[in-house]
């Protein structure tokens, strides 16, 4: 094959002097040729092997015999370009099922993409739009995958990953058990396409949804300190599990899909075995419901960033979004929060309640979450 390649390049270049070459055009053309040669060689090698003909009959999944019905060709898109693969085909007269045993071995069952191309496609499908993914694959890898196929592959991989996450809950022994483990829960709305919104109830007047809520469970440790002695997340200790799932159960006796996800992630991380356990949230009630039910011994803490965000927002609502007084007011409240002067904080907010509905809501938030905001005690 090496001599083939040299010959091809010679043909491409002709007698041109190096100075006259368009190197970019040359690179791309040579890559295409080399891929074609390699693809043809792989195709030839695979098709020469007919060991997948295991006699005239095999056993079909239904228990009845399947009859050998010749070799069939399938076009598979690979990172080397298209491959025409010939495989032994078996057909079962009882149930009508036909299959090629080799497809399973090669990982090309129910797909026209090779395993390596499936992985590449999944990678771009997870990062950019399916249209952009298709264009990137052509530009970067020199392979043709249509946008629709990027979408199908990304979705199939997504389903596989989701299934794998549900099935595998064995603890991750590679991560050591620290003194304190933190479990954070959060939810955030994301826009969805029309077909994904079917059957989701939402906040629109007619009960339909325009966005879905992605819920996230994060587990980490924070044994290390930064330069100022403030605990920071330990590198490599963070794991995530997220899905478009509801935190409310249809049946009150059952755990919601997201609560089950949290439980699986906690099992994997051995959360309940850590000497000290902390659940962090933004203050949304569903978070504390899951925490109360599944980790009653864990310390509950409102994420300090979220709590402070509430104070900044209230300052702006009271004095105007750009007023210096808004920032001053919020800064004083944040200091009270940090230093545990909770009574002073509540008094300051309460003073605004008569003139502001935002203040009333904010007061309620800080009152209900008070025991989760004793920041000086949490260190
Ligand atoms: Zn059958």
Same domain, 279 and 317: no
The answer to the question of residue 107 being in a domain is no
pLDDT value of position 48: 96
Cα(157) to centroid(ligand 1), Å: 28
pLDDT higher than threshold 80 for residue 194: no
Q: Around Cβ 118, how many Cβ atoms within 10 Å?
A: 23
Cα(90) to centroid(ligand 1), Å: 10
Q: What is d(CA 145, CA 121) in angstroms, rounded to the nearest whole number?
A: 8
The answer to the question of residue 110 being in a domain is no
Q: Using pLDDT thresholds of 50, 70 and 90, give the confidence band for residue 246.
A: confident
Q: What is d(CA 358, CA 366) in angstroms, rounded to the nearest whole number?
A: 12
Question: Taking all residues of the chain, what is their mean pLDDT, rounded to a whole number?
Answer: 88
Same domain, 163 and 184: no
Cα(89) to centroid(ligand 1), Å: 13
pLDDT higher than threshold 80 for residue 343: yes
Cα(95) to centroid(ligand 1), Å: 4
Residue with the larger pLDDT of the pair 177 and 231: 177
pLDDT value of position 106: 95
Same domain, 14 and 49: yes
- Name the residue range of residue 71's domain: 2-102
Rounded to the nearest 10 degrees, how much is the dihedral formed by the CA atoms of 361, 367, 372, 376? Answer: 110
Tell me which of 274, 302, 330 is where a domain ends: 302
The answer to the question of residue 40 being in a domain is yes
pLDDT tens track for 21-63: 888 988 888 888 889 999 999 999 999 999 999 888 888 889 8
* Beta strand 276-281 pairing with 299-302: parallel
Cα(91) to centroid(ligand 1), Å: 8
Same domain, 11 and 24: yes
Same domain, 189 and 203: yes
Report how many domains make up the chain. Answer: 4
Cα(64) to centroid(ligand 1), Å: 5
pLDDT higher than threshold 80 for residue 4: no
Cα(167) to centroid(ligand 1), Å: 28
pLDDT higher than threshold 60 for residue 111: yes
Cα(99) to centroid(ligand 1), Å: 10
Cα(70) to centroid(ligand 1), Å: 17
pLDDT higher than threshold 60 for residue 199: no
Taking each helix axis from N to C end, the angle separating 2-13 and 23-48, rounded to the nearest 10 degrees, works out to: 150
Same domain, 341 and 296: no
The answer to the question of residue 174 being in a domain is no
The answer to the question of residue 173 being in a domain is no
pLDDT higher than threshold 60 for residue 85: yes
pLDDT higher than threshold 70 for residue 232: yes
- Listed in sequence order, the residues at least 6 apart from 327 whose beta carbon sits closer than 8 Å to its beta carbon are 312, 315
pLDDT value of position 241: 87
Q: Using pLDDT thresholds of 50, 70 and 90, give the confidence band for residue 224.
A: confident
Tell me which of 102, 132, 147 is where a domain ends: 102
pLDDT value of position 240: 87
Average pLDDT over residues 66-90: 95
Cα(96) to centroid(ligand 1), Å: 6
The answer to the question of residue 129 being in a domain is yes
The residues with which 299 forms a beta bridge, in sequence order, are: 278
Average pLDDT over residues 123-143: 91
Cα(153) to centroid(ligand 1), Å: 28
Same domain, 241 and 253: yes
Same domain, 276 and 312: no
Q: What is d(CA 223, CA 253) in angstroms, rounded to the nearest whole number?
A: 37
pLDDT tens track for 247-300: 777 666 678 889 999 999 999 999 999 999 999 998 888 999 999 999 999 999
pLDDT value of position 157: 83
Three-class SS state of 49 = coil
Cα(87) to centroid(ligand 1), Å: 19
Q: DSSP strand E in the chain: where?
A: 57-59, 65-78, 81-91, 98-99, 180-191, 211-220, 224-225, 231-232, 239-243, 276-281, 299-302
Q: Around Cβ 354, how many Cβ atoms within 10 Å?
A: 8
pLDDT value of position 71: 95
pLDDT value of position 251: 66
Task: Give the neighbor-by-neighbor strand order of the sheet with 98-99.
Answer: 57-59, 65-78, 81-91, 98-99
Q: Using pLDDT thresholds of 50, 70 and 90, give the confidence band for residue 363.
A: very high
Cα(111) to centroid(ligand 1), Å: 21
Cα(59) to centroid(ligand 1), Å: 8
pLDDT value of position 196: 64
The answer to the question of residue 327 being in a domain is yes
């Amino acid at each position: 094959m090496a001599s083939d390649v040299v010959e091809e390049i010679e043909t491409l270049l002709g007698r041109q002097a190096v100075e006259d070459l368009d190197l970019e055009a040359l690179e791309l053309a040579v890559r295409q040729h080399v891929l074609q040669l390699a693809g043809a060689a792989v195709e030839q090698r695979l098709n020469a092997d007919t060991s997948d003909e295991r006699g005239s009959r095999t056993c079909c999944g239904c228990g009845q015999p399947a009859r050998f019905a010749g070799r069939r060709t399938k076009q598979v898109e690979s990172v080397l370009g298209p491959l025409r693969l010939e495989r032994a085909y078996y057909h079962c007269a009882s149930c009508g099922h036909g299959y090629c045993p080799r497809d399973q071995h090669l990982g090309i069952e129910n797909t026209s993409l090779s395993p390596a191309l499936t992985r590449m496609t999944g990678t771009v499908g997870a990062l950019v739009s399916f249209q952009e993914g298709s264009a990137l694959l052509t530009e970067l890898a020199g392979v043709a995958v249509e946008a629709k196929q990027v979408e199908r592959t990304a979705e199939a991989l997504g389903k596989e990953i989701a299934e794998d996450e549900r099935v595998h809950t064995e603890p991750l022994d590679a991560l050591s058990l620290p003194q304190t483990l933190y479990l954070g829960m959060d939810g955030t709305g994301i826009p969805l396409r029309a077909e994904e919104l079917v059957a989701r109830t939402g906040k629109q007047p007619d009960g339909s949804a325009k966005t879905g809520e992605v819920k996230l469970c994060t587990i980490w440790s924070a044994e290390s300190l930064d330069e100022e002695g403030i605990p920071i997340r330990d590198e490599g200790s963070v794991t995530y599990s997220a899905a478009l799932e509801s935190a409310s159960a249809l049946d009150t006796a059952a755990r919601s899909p997201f609560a089950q996800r949290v439980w699986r992630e906690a099992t994997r991380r051995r959360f309940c075995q850590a000497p000290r356990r902390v659940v962090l949230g933004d203050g949304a009630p569903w978070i504390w419901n899951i925490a109360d039910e599944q980790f009653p011994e864990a310390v509950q803490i409102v994420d300090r960033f979220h709590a402070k965000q509430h104070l900044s927002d209230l300052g702006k609502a009271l004095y105007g979004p750009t007023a210096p007084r808004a920032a001053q007011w919020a800064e004083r409240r944040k200091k009270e929060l940090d230093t545990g002067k909770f009574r002073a904080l509540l008094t300051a907010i309460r003073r605004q309640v008569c003139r502001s509905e935002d203040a009333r809501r904010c007061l309620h938030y800080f009152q209900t979450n008070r025991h989760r905001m004793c920041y000086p005690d949490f260190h």
